[in-house]
A and B are shown apart, each in its own frame.
Chain A
């Protein structure tokens, strides 16, 4: 059982336990859909929806599930919410759903979600699991936004589709290719480590 204050429970997802920069979880969507800010944001919100509802359901039925079949049960719960998110995007945000391609259904295998069920929701109260899911999702959205902002501005000269760089700017095509995702993530992880060391020393 977690004994942190509610505020600390929420904030840990932003930095101390940030799913992308500190736990290195959910790398596949982080790398794949951050070519533009809009798809990065949509992925962040879809993951938030799945994580929050899965945590709510798992933390409320945790006592009923035998330990031997817990992973299978969690996955069924997660997959259901992912399918709902996928259907919703297809029905109401068709262009975004097309741009994200197979990555919405692939939220099922995003380790952030199963990881939070196993590490947190299955051991804590419904309320705390909700705060934890909210914090982790916020940290995930933050990471996707940082990555996709850098990649869209350098790779296309735009932010959310609006031109932000002058006519002199020649877009770095590599930034919107997979290689650009790895480069950006690597640099950001390096920066995160430097900040971590600096704060530990002081």
Chain B
């Protein structure tokens, strides 16, 4: 057998075997991976909309998803918005909760971020950042408080404390939320929400 045909046969065989093997592995793990991602989103909804036990996906577009939350007896607890926007280094994906009259942000959590460890990554820290997002006034735009106020009580209800040393990361999160708020209000006021019901426990 000539050298070139041997080379072709060996490489093709190696490629085919490894491809087949990987297809099998992907099949085996596919369900669990999808489950992990779904579980993460569900936990985030429960975190930002207090009292939620079930949720429905109401609306979905690129980098923007609206869920509604219900408690055990089926009463609406509020909406959860998952949004992705540009951060300081890479995209930030976050989720925030808002009550059903769209007046009050009930909480915020960061799903995915690649901000600077130790500085911008503090947007995932409860004490440094997330605690300021509970019970914020959502009727207008939220603003950043810089330099940060010493305690939660000193902040007005439409203010968020800036993280010291990570102004841009704080600013970017705020921009994503303000933009999403506008979008959410527009979609709801136009009555566009009629997405497929997707009950999940």
Q: Which residues in A have some Cβ–Cβ distance to B below 8 Å?
A: 35, 64-66, 68-69, 72-73, 76-77, 79-80, 83-84, 87-88, 90-92, 94, 98, 101, 155-156, 171, 173, 176-177
User: Which size class do B's interface residues fall under?
Assistant: 20 to 34
Contact A91 B6 (CB under 8 A): no
Question: Interface of chain B, helix or strand or loop or mixed?
Answer: helix
Of residues 1 through 40 on chain B, the ones whose CB sits less than 8 Å from some CB of chain A are 3, 6-7, 10-11, 14-15, 18, 21-22, 25-26, 29, 32-33, 36, 40
Given A66-B3, A98-B112, A177-B116, A92–B32 Cβ distance below 8 Å? Answer: yes
Which residues on B sit within 8 Å (CB–CB) of A68? 3, 7
Which of B3, B29, B118 interacts with A155 by CB under 8 Å? B118
Question: Complex: how many Å from CA A84 to CA B24?
Answer: 10
Q: A65-B10, A84-B22, A177-B117 are in contact. Are A76 and B33 (CB under 8 A)?
A: no
Chain B residues with a Cβ under 8 A of chain A? 3, 6-7, 10-11, 14-15, 18, 21-22, 25-26, 29, 32-33, 36, 40, 112, 114, 116-119
Task: Tell me the nearest residue of chain A to B13, going by C-beta.
Answer: A64
Q: Tell me which of B14, B15, B33 has the highest count of chain A C-beta atoms within 10 A of its own C-beta.
A: B14
Closest 6 CB pairs of A and B: A91-B32, A80-B18, A91-B29, A173-B118, A94-B36, A87-B29
Say yes or no: B21 contacts A80, CB within 8 Å: yes
Would B10 and A69 count as touching, CB distance under 8 A? yes
- Is A90 a contact of B36 with CB atoms below 8 Å? yes
Select from chain B the residue with minimum beta-carbon distance to A92: B32
Instruction: Give the nearest-CB partner of B26 in chain A.
Output: A87
User: How far is it, in angstroms, between the C-alpha of A171 and the C-alpha of B165 when the chains are bound?
Assistant: 14
Please, how many angstroms separate the alpha-carbon atoms of A72 and B7 in the complex? 10
